[in-house]
Amino acid sequence: MIKTTTKEGVALDIDSIGKQLSQIITSGMVNHFANIHSDLQQDGLYAYSLYCASGFCAFGIAASTHKSLIALKRRIRQSEAELLETLEQHPDLAANYLQVSDLQIEMSAPDWDYLYSNIDEFNPLDDLVSQIRDYGLQTHDEEFDVSAFISEHLVFGIKAFQAKCATGELLTGLQFSDPSIEEMEISENISRQVNSDKWHRKVLALNTE
């Protein structure tokens, strides 16, 4: 059991905090999945992933179905066509315009139709992440990596969810709303441990676009 003390003199048991984080992830995903599964499964649910802001803040869940993906592609392509038509009078701008790829639409959670931000069971997560960051600042263990520790316990939580819900080939993991390069690497590392080879290859391809 590893402990350190905050500047307020409160002892932090980092192992216990990590375990709490994993358990909250599992219970939140399991219960939320039970609530939405039947409705989304009939539309071809293919993705169900943790979703958060930079710095592991404001955890929620993002999901996508094959039916919503078709509609999303249609909306995006229509919007792009209208924009390109507008840009016909500005060929210099049109030449630099990059269309959203099919891979990004399929794999990038910020584009998906189903974003669940109000999951009550996830409410304690911001405080736990803050405690882990405090530990990282206070500990004398130079090998302690805050992001690696959080990622490890997210993986534990996701794997337990997968086992409890028999999720099969669902795309899962962690996606950030506006990831930095470091956060893209975090997502890749988590994906490698929780996704099938098919999905993980797509995660890697998305991050190299």
Give pLDDT, residue 209. 81
Give pLDDT, residue 82. 87
SS3 sequence, 11-79?
EEEHHHHHHHHHHHHHHHHHHHHHHHHHHHHCCCEEEEEEEEECCCEEEEEEEEEHHHHHHHHHHHHHH
Please say if the pLDDT value at position 144 is more than 70: yes
pTM, entire model? 0.89
SS3 sequence, 132-196?
HHHHHHHCCCCCCCHHHHHHHHHHHHHHHHHHHHCCCCCECCEEECCCCHHHHHHHHHHHHHHCC
98 vs 64: which has the higher pLDDT: 64
Which residue ranges make up each domain of the chain? 3-66+101-207
Please say if the pLDDT value at position 16 is more than 70: yes
Most confident range, picked from 91-100, 131-140, 147-156: 147-156
Give residue-wise pLDDT tens across range 153-163. Answer: 999 999 999 99
Give pLDDT, residue 7. 44
Give residue-wise pLDDT tens across range 24-82. Answer: 999 999 999 999 999 999 999 999 999 999 999 999 999 999 999 999 999 999 998 98
Please say if the pLDDT value at position 6 is more than 60: no
